[in-house]
A = this chain, B = another copy of it.
Amino acid sequence: MLKNKLIKTALLCCMLYLPVLVMGQPPRGPLARSPIVNADKTVTFNYISATAKDVKLSGQFLKAPATMTKGAQHNWTVTVGPVAPDIYPYNFVVDGISVMDPANEYFFTNERFKGSLLDVQDNPPLIHALQDVPHGTVTYEYYPAAGGTTGTLVVYTPPGYDKNSTKKYPVFYLISGTTDTEETFFKVGKANLILDNLIAQGKAKPMILVMPYGNVEGRIAEQKGGKKPADPAGRESDEAVTRALAFSKDVTQHMIPYIDKTYRVLPGRDNRAIGGFSRGGGETLRTGLGNLDKFSYICSYSAYLSPAEMDKSYSFVAGKPQQTNKLLKLLWVSVGSEDFMYKPTSEFLDYLKAHQVNYKSMISGGAHTWMNVKNYLATTAPLLFK
């Protein structure tokens, strides 16, 4: 009798709470509400599973994964925090398997890992928050790119980029990191909203942002019917350098001509900046320093070139510091004190200092994260084109 009742209850629960499996379609489960940011900025995460044995929450706002506990209706839950306002990647670990939060539509655009995004807002709103200010627009573009491929660009035009006006704007090229895509500076970095807000506050000049995909050789392989090659070992291996230079060439030979033709841009190096994160930071330094006739502003976020590489490939930078300092209106390098690239980045700064190359630097807290990238972008955009 009790057994029968248990079975009936179990069946009922299954009917009510198990994901509805339509054949061949990803399961669309009952609507867990997750994440919920509470008034005290603690955050509650919910995940529904009748079969899981162990569910944890892993996120860049946590020092260690948090164990979730199973409550009524097969709902696994945990409340953490308070969490400092920002946007963080996170995921659930269900019986050891990493899954995105099924109830959350916001995710980290990336080729390799699958993470959801937690947005803890603040009052007054953070610089990357959607605010009631004039908005620019974000455009997905195709351009004729290296190796006869069709390249992809995400382009931000500022509010006031009226389609029938004649006003021209400076351009900031922004390169995302390894396994990021051309969408990451938009979807995770909130570059468009950061610029909207800085422009509304009068802190940044209206500018165009151009956000490309940083893996040119991967795109070529893919469009020729193959698969993207694996990431090269090391940041300055022959293979890594070859790929970074292929990207630089795509910028100078394909992207810049396309953007200059398609948008109303101010001409010349003083109206062109380049910045990037991680692999994109390395590409930024190589593209910028290697093409000083095209860029007056270079922003390296959590990236560096080693003293050996500087001496080998960019000796003119430290060799003629006065010329470099005259050409570069900004050489910016920032890194988090907990970033695994903190030490080599510090060595890069020491090298610049020893050779009397002017730079601005920012050693923030935190690690190799997009929380830091947003902060670096919001700090550097006001320094451009002034």
B-binding residues in A (CB < 8 A): 19, 23-29, 31, 33, 36, 49, 51-52, 58-64, 89-91, 94-100, 102-103, 105, 107-115, 130, 132, 135, 137-142, 150, 163-164, 179, 181, 186, 192, 227, 230-231, 263-264, 369
Whether the pair B137, A140 counts as a contact (CB closer than 8 A) is yes
Contact A112 B150 (CB under 8 A): no
**Inside 8 A of A138's CB, which chain B residues have their CB?**
139-140
| A and B contact pairs by CB, cutoff 8 A, 13 listed | A24-B58, A24-B59, A24-B60, A24-B63, A28-B113, A97-B97, A102-B112, A105-B110, A105-B181, A107-B107, A114-B114, A135-B141, A140-B186
- Report the minimal beta-carbon distance from A192 to chain B, rounded to whole angstroms: 8
Of the residues B52, B111, B135, contact of A105 by C-beta under 8 Å: B111
Cross-interface CB contact of A97 among B31, B49, B263, cutoff 8 Å: B49
The complex places the Cα of A292 from the Cα of B177 at a distance, in Å, of 49
Chain B residues positioned under 8 Å from A100 (CB to CB): 100, 114
- Name the B residues within 8 Å of A98 (CB-CB): 19, 26-27, 99, 102
| Number of identical monomers bound together in the oligomeric complex | 2
| A29 → B minimal CB distance (Å) | 7
Q: Are B102 and A31 in contact (CB under 8 A)?
A: no
Q: Give Cα A31 to B230, complex, Å.
A: 7
Asked whether, in the complex, the Cβ of B26 is within 8 Å of the Cβ of A113, the reply is yes
Q: A109 contacts which chain B residues (CB < 8 A)? A: 105
With both chains docked as a complex, state the minimum distance between the C-beta of A183 and any C-beta of chain B, in angstroms.
9
Apart from A23-B64, A99-B99, A102-B114, what are 10 other A-B pairs with CB-CB below 8 Å? A19-B98, A24-B59, A26-B90, A29-B113, A51-B97, A94-B97, A97-B97, A105-B110, A132-B150, A140-B140
The chain B residue sitting closest to A115, CB to CB, is B26
Complex alpha-carbon distance, A367 and B314, angstroms:
59
**Complex CA–CA separation, A163 to B99 (angstroms):** 43
Q: How far is the CA of A110 from the CA of B107 in the complex (A)?
A: 10
Give chain B residues whose Cβ lies under 8 Å from the Cβ of A164. Answer: 163-164
Among the interface residues A24, A60, A94, which one has the most CB atoms of the partner chain B within 10 A? Answer: A24
- In Å, the complex CA distance between A231 and B336 comes to 43
Contact between chains at A130 and B114 (CB < 8 Å): no
Contact call A102/B113, Cβ cutoff below 8 A: yes
Complex-state Cα separation, A59 to B58, whole angstroms: 28
Q: Which partner residue on chain B sits nearest A104 by CB separation?
A: B111
Q: Are B31 and A112 in contact (CB under 8 A)?
A: yes
The residues of B that contact A231 with a CB separation of less than 8 Å are 31
Closest B residue to A141 using CB positions: B137
Q: Is the CB of B230 within 8 A of A108?
A: no
How far, in angstroms, from A91 to B97 measured CA to CA in the complex? 14
Q: How far is the CB of A78 from chain B (nearest CB, A)?
A: 14
Q: Give the Cβ gap from A25 to chain B, nearest Cβ, in Å.
A: 6
Contact between chains at A61 and B95 (CB < 8 Å): no
Residue of B nearest to A59 (CB): B24
Most buried by B among A19, A58, A63: A58
Q: Contacts of A90 on B, CB cut-off 8 Å?
A: 24, 26
Q: Within 8 Å CB of A27, what residues of B?
A: 98, 113
State A186–B139 Cα separation when bound (angstroms): 12
| Chain B residues within 8 Å of A23, by CB | 62-64
In the assembled complex, how far is the CB of residue A109 from the closest CB belonging to chain B, in whole angstroms? 8
Complex: chain B residue closest to A114, CB-CB: B100
A138–B142 Cα distance when bound, in Å, is: 10
Smallest Cβ-Cβ distance to A163: which chain B residue = B163
CA distance A183 to B295 in the complex (A): 34
* Distance between A360 CB and nearest chain B CB, rounded to angstroms: 28
